Amino acid sequence: MNMEGMRGRTAVTLIAPVSWGTTYVTVTQLLPEGRPLLVSAIRVAPAAAVLIGVGLFQTGGRWPRTPWRRTIVLAMLNFGLFFPLLTVAVYRLPGGVAAAAGGLQPLLVAGLTRVASRRSPQASELGIAAAAAVGVGLVVLRPGPDLDLVGVAAAVAANTSFAAGVVLTKRLAPPANRYLDTGLQLLLSGVLLVPTAVALEGWPSAVDARNVAGFGYLSLVATGAAFVLWFEGIARLPAFAPPLLGLAAPVTGAVLGWLLLGQSLSPVQLVGFAVTVAAIGYGATARSPDQPWRATDPGLDPASRDRA
């Protein structure tokens, strides 16, 4: 990919984390309280139906051969584990603390890449990742009451799951159809989340127009559309770039807190903004040779997969 194409792909990919940055405001202001599993289940179900419909339209109703092992593992990492853990963190922690865990993404991806591919991250990548984590922390962390340890554990586990999904999405063979693949991942996670949510939390006694709008936006925009763009970005951009672009999520959350919730921004936070934006800019412009995927399952070899 030439530099112009990389800039375009970067700009499109950046839409995904910006939309994720709206999650805290959406969940806390528009959705029923105290129902993390229900929020996660309804987040995946409509998006799955829409994306599978779009994918089937593109393929003329033909469903390409599916590498089920790859799809199931990615579905659990990207959605089935990540969404409920993240929602628990959002409900139990101040928004800044939940977002701060997202600043660990570049470091987590670098570490998991080292484990998965035996590729040692470059010193510059680790330095940028560490600076990014500090920058996000300066933006979103504020003095306050004692932290909820369950919420902290959920936030760290959620980001570890998501980082593993980034690494495996980059390494494994790309799907025949991005819409079908993303929709199927959402569907498989929904098979786990929907009955679990109904059994443990039940359905809310009342759902108003505000709830419907929140669920619709969270599912169709901040999940369905966002993850199609995100997965395509992971496949096409250098391996270290998407985690740095993902830092736009906590920055967006902090900006929305300032604009919509009346939260103030201190000089320390402004310094954090500068550091974080610089890290995002590095991820958007620096060049690095992509690490070729190495499928561990012979069925994942791109030469053997069906194309739509």
Question: What integer is the mean pLDDT of 36-56?
Answer: 92
pLDDT digits (tens, 9 = 90+) for 76-97: 999 999 988 988 887 777 655 6
Asked if the structure places residue 308 within a domain, the reply is no
Helical (H) or strand (E) element with 209:
helix 209-216
Asked if the structure places residue 307 within a domain, the reply is no
Number of domain units in the chain: 1
Asked if the structure places residue 158 within a domain, the reply is yes
pLDDT band at 222 (very low <50, low <70, confident <90, very high): very high
Asked if the structure places residue 306 within a domain, the reply is no
pLDDT band at 48 (very low <50, low <70, confident <90, very high): very high
CA distance 150 to 219: 25
pLDDT band at 297 (very low <50, low <70, confident <90, very high): very low
Tell me which residue of 143, 177, 167 sits closest to 242, measured CA to CA: 167
Decide if pLDDT at 210 tops 70: yes
Under 8 Å between Cβ of 248 and 280: yes
Instruction: List C-alpha distances in Å: 20 to 43, 217, 226, 238.
Output: 12, 11, 8, 21
CA distance 90 to 113: 27
The three-point CA angle 269-13-238 to 5° equals 95
Residue count of the chain: 308
Tokens of 107: 């470091």
Whole-structure pTM over 0.85, yes or no?
no
Q: Which residue has the higher pLDDT, 151 or 145?
A: 151
Under 8 Å between Cβ of 182 and 224: yes
Asked if the structure places residue 271 within a domain, the reply is yes
CA distance 228 to 239: 17
Inter-axis angle of helices 82-92 and 178-200, nearest 10: 50
pLDDT band at 305 (very low <50, low <70, confident <90, very high): very low
Tell me which residue of 305, 176, 155, 152 sits closest to 235, measured CA to CA: 176
Inter-axis angle of helices 267-285 and 123-140, nearest 10: 150
Asked if the structure places residue 185 within a domain, the reply is yes
Asked if the structure places residue 305 within a domain, the reply is no
Amino acid at 78: N
Question: What integer is the mean pLDDT of 41-66?
Answer: 93
Question: What integer is the mean pLDDT of 183-198?
Answer: 93
Tokens of 202: 């039940």
CA distance 29 to 33: 9
For residue 24, the enclosing domain spans 3-300
